[in-house]
Amino acid sequence: MEKEEAKRLFKKLKIRTLLDLALILPATYEDRRLSQELIPSKEHVLQVKVISTRNSGGKLYATLYMTAFNQQIDAIFFKATAYHLKTFAVGANLVVSGRVTTFKGNLQLTQPKSISQYGVVIPKYRVKVIKESQMRALIQKYLNKNLLLKEGLTDKEADTLLKLHFPDRYNFEISKEGLSDEITQILKFIESFNHIKKLKSKKEFYPAISRLDNDPGDFISSLPFELTSDQWRAISDIRKDLLQTDRAAKRVIIGDVGSGKTIVILASAVMAKGKGAVLMAPTSILCKQIYEEALKFLPKDMKIALVMQGSMEGDYRNADFVIGTHALLYLDDLPKASLVMVDEQHRFGTNQRAMLEAMVSKGEKRPHYLQFSATPIPRTQAMMESEMIDVSLIEHTPFEKLIHTEVIGKKDFKRLLAHIESELKQNHQILIVYPLVESSEEIPYQSIDEARGFWEKRYDGVYVTHGKDKNKEKVLQEFRDKGKILLATTVIEVGISLPQLTTIVIVGAERLGLATLHQLRGRVGRNGLESRCFLYTNKPDSKRLAQFAKTTNGFDIAKLDLKYRASGDILDGTIQSGQKFKWLDLAEDEHIIEEAKRRIRYIESN
Question: Binding mask 60-99 vs Mg ion (x if CB under 5 A, - otherwise)?
Answer: ----------------------------------------
Please list every residue from 430 through 469 that binds ligand ADP, using CB under 6 A: none
Among 44, 165, 197, 261, indicate the residue that binds ligand ADP (CB under 6 A): 261
| 225, interface contact from ligand ADP, Mg ion, none, CB < 5-8 Å by kind | ligand ADP
Please list every residue from 250 through 279 that binds Mg ion, using CB under 5 A: 261
Q: In what order do the strands lie in the sheet with 390-394?
A: 311-313, 304-308, 321-324, 277-280, 339-342, 368-373, 250-255, 390-394
Question: Binding mask 386-405 vs ligand ADP (x if CB under 6 A, - otherwise)?
Answer: ------------x-------
Question: CA 554 → CA 82, 396, 401, 489, distances in Å?
Answer: 68, 9, 12, 21
The reply on whether position 259 binds ligand ADP by CB under 6 A is yes
Among 258, 378, 554, 568, indicate the residue that binds ligand ADP (CB under 6 A): 258
The reply on whether position 123 binds ligand ADP by CB under 6 A is no
> Which amino acid is located at 358 in the chain?
A
Separation between Cα atoms, residue 116 and residue 138, nearest integer Å: 22
| 227, interface contact from ligand ADP, Mg ion, none, CB < 5-8 Å by kind | ligand ADP
| 259, interface contact from ligand ADP, Mg ion, none, CB < 5-8 Å by kind | ligand ADP
Whose CA is closest to 320, among 424, 214, 438? Answer: 214
Nearest distance from C-beta of residue 375 to ligand ADP, angstroms: 11
Neighbours of 6 (CB within 10 A): 16
Neighbours of 524 (CB within 10 A): 25
The reply on whether position 492 binds ligand ADP by CB under 6 A is no
Residue 283 or 537: the one with the smaller Cβ distance to ligand ADP is 283
Q: Does residue 294 contact residue 323 with C-beta atoms inside 8 Å?
A: yes
The reply on whether position 376 binds ligand ADP by CB under 6 A is no
Nearest distance from C-beta of residue 251 to ligand ADP, angstroms: 16
| 338, interface contact from Mg ion, ligand ADP, none, CB < 5-8 Å by kind | none
Separation between Cα atoms, residue 136 and residue 9, nearest integer Å: 12
Residue 261 or 428: the one with the smaller Cβ distance to Mg ion is 261
Nearest distance from C-beta of residue 394 to ligand ADP, angstroms: 7
109-117's contacts with Cβ under 8 Å and 24+ in sequence apart are: 109/44, 109/46, 109/64, 109/73, 109/74, 109/75, 109/76, 110/75, 110/76, 111/75, 111/76, 111/77, 111/78, 112/46, 112/75, 114/87, 114/88, 115/32, 115/45, 117/32
Residue 261 or 472: the one with the smaller Cβ distance to Mg ion is 261
Q: Does residue 487 contact residue 451 with C-beta atoms inside 8 Å?
A: yes
> Using CB under 6 A, which of the segments 60-68, 158-166, 257-265, 346-354 binds ligand ADP?
257-265
* Secondary structure element (H or E) that encloses residue 83, with its range: helix 82-87
The reply on whether position 262 binds ligand ADP by CB under 6 A is yes
| Residues linked to residue 392 through DSSP beta bridges, in sequence order | 253
Separation between Cα atoms, residue 57 and residue 79, nearest integer Å: 9
| 602, interface contact from Mg ion, ligand ADP, none, CB < 5-8 Å by kind | none
Nearest distance from C-beta of residue 258 to ligand ADP, angstroms: 5
Residue 304 or 462: the one with the smaller Cβ distance to ligand ADP is 304
Among 263, 389, 512, 558, indicate the residue that binds ligand ADP (CB under 6 A): 263
Question: CA 325 → CA 28, 278, 328, distances in Å?
Answer: 54, 11, 6
Nearest distance from C-beta of residue 256 to ligand ADP, angstroms: 7
Nearest distance from C-beta of residue 337 to ligand ADP, angstroms: 21
Among 225, 413, 454, 602, indicate the residue that binds ligand ADP (CB under 6 A): 225
Q: How many residues bind ligand ADP (CB under 6 A)?
A: 15
Residue 155 or 530: the one with the smaller Cβ distance to ligand ADP is 530
The reply on whether position 260 binds ligand ADP by CB under 6 A is yes
Residue 395 or 423: the one with the smaller Cβ distance to Mg ion is 395
Quick one: DSSP state of residue 53?
E
The reply on whether position 521 binds ligand ADP by CB under 6 A is no
Separation between Cα atoms, residue 295 and residue 300, nearest integer Å: 8
Question: CA 502 → CA 92, 336, 398, 499, distances in Å?
Answer: 85, 43, 19, 8
Nearest distance from C-beta of residue 495 to Mg ion, angstroms: 6
Neighbours of 540 (CB within 10 A): 17
| 577, interface contact from ligand ADP, Mg ion, none, CB < 5-8 Å by kind | none
Residue 210 or 231: the one with the smaller Cβ distance to ligand ADP is 231
Q: How many residues bind Mg ion (CB under 5 A)?
A: 1
The reply on whether position 228 binds ligand ADP by CB under 6 A is yes
The reply on whether position 257 binds ligand ADP by CB under 6 A is yes
Nearest distance from C-beta of residue 231 to Mg ion, angstroms: 13
Position of minimal CB gap to Mg ion:
261
Q: How deeply is 63 buried, as exposed, middle or buried, from its count of CB atoms within 10 A (0-12, 13-18, 19+)?
A: middle
DSSP letters, 478-535, are HHHHH-SEEEE-GGGGS----TTEEEEEEETGGGS-HHHHHHHHTTS-TTS--EEEEE
The reply on whether position 554 binds ligand ADP by CB under 6 A is no
Among 186, 227, 391, 507, indicate the residue that binds ligand ADP (CB under 6 A): 227
Residue 526 or 544: the one with the smaller Cβ distance to Mg ion is 526
* Secondary structure element (H or E) that encloses residue 186, with its range: helix 181-202
Q: Does residue 487 contact residue 448 with C-beta atoms inside 8 Å?
A: yes
| 531, interface contact from ligand ADP, Mg ion, none, CB < 5-8 Å by kind | none
Whose CA is closest to 32, among 138, 167, 134, 192? Answer: 167
Residue 223 or 358: the one with the smaller Cβ distance to ligand ADP is 223
Whose CA is closest to 235, among 248, 249, 253, 250? Answer: 253
| Residues linked to residue 311 through DSSP beta bridges, in sequence order | 308
Residues that bind ligand ADP (CB under 6 A): 225-228, 231, 255, 257-263, 374, 398
Residues that bind Mg ion (CB under 5 A): 261
